[in-house]
Amino acid sequence: MHDLKQFPIVFSIAVQWGDMDSFQHVNNVVFFRWCETARVEYLERIGLTVKNGSHGVGPILARIECNYRKPVTYPDTVHVGARVTRIGNSSFEMEHAIYTDRWGLVADANSTLVVLDYDSGKTVSVPDAVRAAIGELEKRKL
């Protein structure tokens, strides 16, 4: 079982009425948006964004999957944790845990991000400064 204290980034947001679909629960796409917001906050904290990257180097999402455990409905508040679980040569894996005030753990997700030189369209190694920033944020060596 996850514990949000294990995640260096936690994003919280109220469930919006418009997040629900015709089945009267939050649509699956919204879970990916919540993960995206937490992921972007994490990336900004480690200095890996296209806007802040040097020479157009930044992240690109290569894969994401989500395990839905309980339906979420309005009203509720969602808390999404983000952490890096593995760093490879040109990619890293991120884990998310999604909790609500009402139900506790409602979903978990995993994604792979690749570091890309947007000017050339080719992958590049995860910069040493980014590796160091991840280690500092995670307070552990990966």
pLDDT digits (tens, 9 = 90+) for 35-91: 999 999 999 999 998 665 556 889 999 999 999 999 999 999 999 999 999 999 999
At 142, the pLDDT band (50, 70, 90 cuts) reads confident
Domain ranges of the chain: 4-138
CA torsion 14-17-21-25 (nearest 10°) is 50
pLDDT in tens, 86-130: 999 999 999 999 999 999 999 999 999 999 998 898 999 999 999
Q: What pLDDT, on a 0 to 100 scale, did the predictor assign at position 35?
A: 97
Q: Please give the DSSP secondary-structure letter assigned to residue 106.
A: E
Which residues lie closer than 8 Å to 76 by C-beta, 6 or more apart? Answer: 14, 15, 100, 101, 102, 103
Q: What pLDDT, on a 0 to 100 scale, did the predictor assign at position 51?
A: 65
Q: What pLDDT, on a 0 to 100 scale, did the predictor assign at position 119?
A: 87
Q: What pLDDT, on a 0 to 100 scale, did the predictor assign at position 19?
A: 95
Give the ranges where 82-139 is alpha helix by DSSP (H). 128-138
Give pTM, 2 decimals: 0.92
What are the two backbone dihedrals, phi and then psi, of residue 112, each rounded to the nearest 5 degrees?
A: -120, 130
Domain range 4-138, CATH class: alpha beta
Q: What pLDDT, on a 0 to 100 scale, did the predictor assign at position 34?
A: 98
pLDDT in tens, 10-30: 999 999 999 999 999 999 999
Q: How far apart are CA 39 and CA 75, in angstroms?
A: 24
Is the pLDDT at 134 greater than 80, yes or no? Answer: yes
